[in-house]
Structure 1
Amino acid sequence: FTGIHILDPRVFDYIEPGVYSDIVPQVYRPALDRGDPIAAHVTDGNWYELSTIPRYLDISLAMMNGTDVITGANCKVSASASIRDSVIWDNVTIADEVSLYRTIIADGVSLEPGEHFENAAIVRAEMVRSCDEIPEKALKGYIQGQNYIVPLN
């Protein structure tokens, strides 16, 4: 389940330090068994869970209220670029004839003339090169020029 938890510090009485814990069987169930009060507020509002890059893109697009592109600060986008359903962060440069569809462009990325990306996340390659270790569960990508491209499908 998902939600926001506001917890009393006593909740840590149920959690063994340094060991993985699941809040339902290891906190809520024992608390209920002891008679500790647990309250909830249920709402019919939307909940957006952002644990993956594809979910981040889907949710960003859902919140754009009918616009095709979110553009951050200090971006330079060529008038001949074709961009749909994409999220562009800060300090991005998009050259002539670039085509983007369902793509996240991270801070400081520059795209070369004529590049085409669909269903991708793009960061500066130096961000990946400077990592001591890439987590096993990280989405895999490839270096193209000065960028690291992560396919999202």
Structure 2
Amino acid sequence: MKAVILAGGEGCRLRPLTNHCPKPMVPILNKPVMEYSIELLKRHGITDIIMTVHYLSSSIRSHFGDGSKWGVTITYSEDGMPLGTAGSVKLAEQMLTESFLVISGDILTDFDLSAGIQHHEDQLAAATIFTKPLDLPIEYGVLLSADKKMDKMFEKPNWSDLTKHSINTGIYILDPKIFTYLEDFTHYDFSKDVFPAILKHNEKISIFEAEGYWSDIGTLATYREAQFDMLHHKVNLPSKGKEIAKGIWMEDGVTIHDDVTLKGPIYISRNTIIHEGAIVGPQTVLSESAIIHEKSEITHSILWENSYVGKSCSLGGMIGHCQIQDHSALADMNDETVNAWREYTKRDS
């Protein structure tokens, strides 16, 4: 079976992180979030992958290339203009002659894809939607189903619409017949356009109730949360680092000088250097080749690759690339940020 990874979105809700970085490339513990999806597909025997790309596509192409580094084959389908989730897949129609899997490039999940594929084959459906219960589904498409067959869907519904909190996770298995409902070079969305068309033509849409972890890396809050869900063993996905002590994760090639204080949970990536007297953590991720100078303190922050923090600095709540000069104090601990950290800590305590 082939897979299509949707990797063309602009990630507007993650700005400014996505001003110069496509959303599927934002790092989760020093790996682009989409890299986890590629590894998951490989784990389930899916090695022929088509990526639909558009926004800042050159950075995606340069990182993943032909996919051989991950043991897969990647073919790129470039959208000349935004065509929506389904419209972009329509461009790759000639490469999709059998049932195929669609997954968003900006989600983090450890779902059992093989079980979903088997379910799809057993149900003889035109489409299978991976769903998951969620306590607060107001931001997502919600399915109302009976006997595991889709009856109705609300896209970002009102609370009065909800009778069952089962969300559309953006992972589908589709029969190529769905292309007959789509015109070339036209904007289509799976939830708003394709699935209603399938039902209108009395074709079957099956619901696969997946078990495991799923997160849409769509906001700064969910971006933060996913990092620490990984560190707290809530996600069955491999990271580059190892837990060398409780809550202290580290990759190879890290240099830590004397009198450094590490407060977990933290993640320190390779080629990072932490100088004397520095304090790192809690709730902090240092991506590859970060440099933290003497007597600086960093807490509740996610610093991207090649970040630099000078001497005697104090950082709190920072996310992204940082170049901080000596004796600086910076914090982005607004109410939303503080509440997000507090809620996460409360749930994990």
Q: 1:110 aligns with which of 291, 297, 307?
A: 291
Q: Secondary structure at the match of 1:39?
A: strand
CA distance in structure 1 between the partners assigned to 2:169 and 2:256 by the alignment? 38
Q: Which has the higher helix share?
A: 2
1:82 maps to a residue whose letter is: T
Deviations 1:76-128 (CA, angstroms, capped at 9, x unpaired): 123522222112222111112221221111111111011111111113259xx
Within 5 Å, give how 1:69-88 maps onto structure 2: 69-83=248-262, 84-88=264-268
CA distance in structure 2 between the partners assigned to 1:115 and 1:10 by the alignment? 59
Quick check: 114-123 or 21-30, which moved more? Answer: 21-30
CA 1:140/1:94 → structure 2, altered by over 3 Å: closer, same or farther?
closer
TM-score for the superposition, normalised by structure 1: 0.69
The gaps in structure 2 that reach 5 residues or longer are 1-167, 235-242, 309-318, 338-349
Q: 1:40 aligns with which of 166, 190, 207?
A: 207
1:63 maps to a residue whose letter is: H
TM-score for the superposition, normalised by structure 2: 0.34
Q: 2:226 aligns with which of 34, 48, 56?
A: 56
The aligned counterpart of 1:97 is 277
CA distance in structure 2 between the partners assigned to 1:18 and 1:100 by the alignment? 50
CA 1:6/1:125 → structure 2, altered by over 3 Å: closer, same or farther?
same
CA distance in structure 2 between the partners assigned to 1:38 and 1:150 by the alignment? 48
Deviations 1:39-74 (CA, angstroms, capped at 9, x unpaired): 232133332444443133232222279931221121
The aligned counterpart of 2:198 is 31
The aligned counterpart of 2:92 is none
The aligned counterpart of 2:11 is none
Q: Aligned residues: percent identity?
A: 15
CA distance in structure 1 between the partners assigned to 2:269 and 2:323 by the alignment? 19
CA distance in structure 2 between the partners assigned to 1:150 and 1:28 by the alignment? 45
CA distance in structure 2 between the partners assigned to 1:113 and 1:3 by the alignment? 45
CA distance in structure 2 between the partners assigned to 1:73 and 1:35 by the alignment? 55
- Alpha-carbon deviation of 1:141? 6.9
CA 1:55/1:14 → structure 2, altered by over 3 Å: closer, same or farther?
farther
CA distance in structure 2 between the partners assigned to 1:108 and 1:63 by the alignment? 25
Q: Secondary structure at the match of 2:302?
A: strand
The gaps in structure 1 that reach 5 residues or longer are 127-138
CA distance in structure 1 between the partners assigned to 2:260 and 2:303 by the alignment? 16
The aligned counterpart of 1:134 is none
CA distance in structure 1 between the partners assigned to 2:320 and 2:331 by the alignment? 6
The aligned counterpart of 2:302 is 121
1:71–1:88 CA contact under 8 A, matched in 2:
yes
- Alpha-carbon deviation of 1:37? 2.6
Q: Secondary structure at the match of 1:87?
A: strand
2:259 maps to a residue whose letter is: S
- Alpha-carbon deviation of 1:14? 4.6
CA distance in structure 1 between the partners assigned to 2:246 and 2:292 by the alignment? 22
